[in-house]
Amino acid sequence: MRIAIVDESGLRATILEEGLREAGFDDIHAVPPTGAFVARLERLAPDVVLIDLGTPSRDSLEEMLAVSRALSRPIAMFVDQSDESMIGAAIDAGVSAYVVDGLRKDRVKPILDLAIRRFNAFARLRTELEEARTALADRKKIDRAKAILMEQRGLAEADAYTLLRTTAMNQGRRIADVADALITATEMLGGPK
Amino acid sequence: MTPISVAFLPLTDSAVLIAAKAMGFAEAEGIDLGLVRDTSWANVRDRLVYGQVQAAHMLAPLAIAVTLGLSQHPAAIAAPFKLGVNGNALTLSSELAAALDPVPRSRILDPTATAHDFAAAIGLHRRKPVIGIVHRFSSHAIMLRYWLGFAGVNPDRDVTLRVLPPSLMVEALHAGEIDGFIAGEPWSSVAVAEGLGEIVAIGANIWQRGVEKVLALRQDWMEANPETVDRLLRALDRAAAWCDDPANRPALAELLSQPHHIGQPAEIITQALSGQLPIARGEEPIESPDFLLFHREAANFPWRSQALWIYSQFVRWGLAKADASAEAAAANVFRSDIYRRALAGGPTPMPGASMKLEGALRAPLAVGSDRGTLTLGPDRFFDGRIFDPAEIHDYIAGFEPTR
C-alpha cells in the first residue's frame, strides 16, 4: 500500500513516517505542499493520502482528486459512517485521509488512527517545548530584575524576589511581567543594563 | 449564553461574523460566538458537516454542492442568511492585461469588450492562460465561467483553471505559476499594491448583485435549534447593518486587519469597503459604490431564485446533472422562510416574495415589503440575459454549447 504524507512540517512528516514504518508499511512518500506538489502526487498515484489540515493547499488537492485522469481509481475522503467521532478526532488533531476507491475500511482505519496519535503527540511536544522556552525566558527576566533590585535598593536576593512576588500578587500580574516592566523602566531611566 | 462556533476564511466578506462578535451584537442576543479561522474551504466544509462548528462562512455554490453530494461527504446544508453581495475582482498579470484595452478603467467599465479582448488574447499569450480560482464551487469561478462563456471561451478547454487558496494567489502570480486569478478581497488589492497585477473586471460589473458568501448551517441542527437560529440571525442582521454604515468603515477596516482576522493592512481592506479601488499601480482608483454590500437592499435575504441560478450554472458547465430532485434540493438550500421567521418584526424591511427574476432590474426599484420601503438595486447581468426560475430549462438551453 502506497501512502503519501502531505505536511508543511517536515519534522511531523518524519515522525509520522517512522510510526508507519514501525507498523509495517514501507511504501511511504513525504510530499511537502509547495510548488507543483499536486503533479507530484498525481505521478505517485498513492492509495492513501494523509494531509495536514493546517495547509491551505487542501482545496488544490481535492480539485486534483476530482479531475485527474492520471489516477486509475477515484480517491475520496475517508469517512467511516459507523464512527463519525473518528473524523472529529482527526479534524481536532489536524489531519485528514483520502483513500482510493475500494480500499477496505479495516485497512485504512489503523493508518488514520496512527496519524491522529502522532499528530497529537507532535502538538503536545510542541506545546511542551514552547512552555519550556517561556519558562527559561521568564527565569532570565526574573534574575535580571532581582539583580536590579539588589543593586539599586541594596536588598538581599531573597528579599528582592519577595518584593517582585508581592508586587505581582497585589497587581494580579505574573512575576515575569512585573520583572519585565522593571527591566524596561530601568533601561529607560538609564540604569544598569 | 449559548455557545456557537463559526468557521471562516480570512476574507473581507467575513466582516459580518467578525463584527457580530467584536461589536457585541451576538452577546446582546445571548450568543457566545466563537470564531474559528481556517485555511481551506475543505476544512470549513468538514468542520460544519462533522459538527465541529455549528455555522460557517461559506461560498454559496459550495453549500449547494455539499447538499447535492458533489463535494465529498453529502450533507443537507441550509443558508438562511447571505453574508454580503459582490466583492470579487479578476486580476491579471501585467503581461496578460497589456493585451486588453490600454486604458485600465475602460476594461472595468465595459466587461463585454473586455471579455472579447480576453478571448482574442488567449491565442497570443505565450501559453494557455492559467487562471487561479479558489474552488471549483466558488461564486467567483461561476462568474468567471459566465463571463468567459459569453465571449465563446470554453473555460474547461481554452484556459486552465487552477485551484489555489486565496492567500497564495499573490505569491503564485509573482512566481509566474498563474497568469491571473479571481478571488474575494483583499487579495486583488494586495496584488495591485505590490505591482504584480491589474484588476481587469469586478464582480459587480458582471452581475450587478452577485451572490457570494452565505451563513451555512447543517439543516438538521438548524431544525433542532430554531430559537438559537433566530437569535443568531438577529445578531447578524444588526452586525450587517453596522458593517454597511460608511461611518463605521474605519473601525471595521481596523478590526478586520487584526492578525487573527484577516491580517492585511487596514488601508488595503478599506478599498473594497469603500468601493474605491486602485486597479493598477499608479492609476487613480475606480469608484464602484456597489462593489461590496453588507446589508442595504435586503442584501442578506436568501432569494431562492439565486440558489436556482447557481444550480443552472452547475448544469450548464457539467458540474451537476440536470435532475428535478437536485433542482428542488438546490432551491431549498436558500432558506428565505427561516430568514423571515427570525427577522419578523425587526427593523430591516424584507421583500414580500422569495423568488424573483434575476437580472431584470436596470434601475433601482421599490418593491412590496412588510414595512417601510425596500428598494432593490439594479441587478443586471452584463450580457443582459434574464433568469426566470420558472423557465430554468429554457434558460440553460439558451447558452451556446461550448463543450
Predicted complex ipTM? 0.89
Q: Report angle CA A87, A73, A75 to the nearest 5 degrees.
A: 20
For residue B35, the distance in angstroms to the closest alpha carbon of chain A comes to 15
**What is the fold of A131-188?**
Arc Repressor Mutant, subunit A (1.10.10)
Instruction: Report CA B276 to chain centroid distance, whole Å.
Output: 18
The verdict on residue B399 lying in a domain is no
Cell of A98: 483520502
Which residues face B397 on adjacent strands? none
- Of B343, B359, B385, which one is at a domain's C-terminal end? B343
Nearest chain A residue to B136, by CA: A63
Query: In angstroms, rounded to a whole number, what is the distance separating the alpha carbons of residues A51 and B308?
Result: 34
Query: In angstroms, rounded to a whole number, what is the distance separating the alpha carbons of residues B332 and B76?
Result: 10
Rounded to the nearest 10°, the torsion over CA A6, A10, A16, A17 is 90
Total count of domains within chain B: 2
pLDDT at A191: 64
pLDDT at A75: 85
Task: Please tell me whether residues B138 and B248 are part of one structural domain.
Answer: no
The verdict on residue B280 lying in a domain is yes
Task: Please tell me whether residues B201 and B325 are part of one structural domain.
Answer: no
Which residues of B187-316 form beta strands (DSSP E)?
Answer: 197-202, 213-218, 276-277, 286-287, 292-293
Query: In angstroms, rounded to a whole number, what is the distance separating the alpha carbons of residues B28 and B201?
Result: 40
- The per-residue pLDDT for range B76-134, each reduced to its tens digit, is 999 999 999 999 999 999 999 999 999 999 999 999 999 999 999 999 999 999 999 99
Cell of B342: 427570525
Length of chain A: 193
Task: Please tell me whether residues B140 and B129 are part of one structural domain.
Answer: yes
Sign for the pseudo-dihedral over CA of A148, A151, A154, A159: positive
Q: Residue B163 and residue A79: Cβ atoms within 8 Å?
A: no
**CATH number of the domain that residue B76 is part of:** 3.40.190.10
The verdict on residue B372 lying in a domain is no
Facing residue for B73 by CB, picked from A56, A63, A77: A77
Nearest Cα to Cα of residue B307 among B326, B332, B338: B332
Q: Residue A91 and residue B47: Cβ atoms within 8 Å?
A: yes
Interface test with A, best of B9, B40, B53 (most A CBs within 10 A): B40
Length of chain B: 403
Task: Please tell me whether residues B178 and B318 are part of one structural domain.
Answer: no
The verdict on residue B363 lying in a domain is no
Task: Please tell me whether residues B135 and B252 are part of one structural domain.
Answer: no
Nearest chain B residue to A54, by CA: B39
Domain with CATH 1.10.10.10 in chain A: 131-188
Q: What are phi and psi of A86, to 5 degrees?
A: -65, -40
Q: Residue B39 and residue A55: Cβ atoms within 8 Å?
A: yes
Task: Please tell me whether residues B105 and B254 are part of one structural domain.
Answer: no
Domain membership of residue B130 as a residue range: 86-209+266-287
Facing residue for A59 by CB, picked from B41, B47, B52: B41
For residue B43, the distance in angstroms to the closest alpha carbon of chain A comes to 7
Look at the block and give the residue holding cell 484595452: B101
Task: Please tell me whether residues B26 and B108 are part of one structural domain.
Answer: no
- The per-residue pLDDT for range B1-28, each reduced to its tens digit, is 999 999 999 999 999 999 999 999 999 9
Tens of pLDDT along chain A (193 residues) come to: 999 999 988 899 999 999 999 999 999 999 998 878 888 999 999 999 999 998 888 999 999 988 888 787 878 888 877 777 888 889 889 999 999 888 888 888 899 999 999 999 898 888 898 899 999 999 999 999 999 999 999 999 999 999 999 999 999 999 999 999 999 999 988 765 5
**What is the fold of A2-127?**
D-Maltodextrin-Binding Protein; domain 2 (3.40.190)
Query: In angstroms, rounded to a whole number, what is the distance separating the alpha carbons of residues B115 and B119?
Result: 6
Which residues face B387 on adjacent strands? B358
Give me the total of CB pairs closer than 8 Å, taking one residue from chain A and one from chain B.
59
Query: In angstroms, rounded to a whole number, what is the distance separating the alpha carbons of residues A180 and A185?
Result: 9
Domain with CATH 3.40.190 in chain A: 2-127
Task: Please tell me whether residues B133 and B243 are part of one structural domain.
Answer: no
Q: What is the largest CA-CA distance in chain A?
A: 79
The verdict on residue B68 lying in a domain is yes
Sign for the pseudo-dihedral over CA of B146, B149, B153, B156: positive
3-state secondary structure (DSSP) of residue B399: coil
Q: Count H helices, E strands: chain B?
A: 19, 16
Cβ-Cβ contacts under 8 Å, B39 against chain A: 53-56, 58
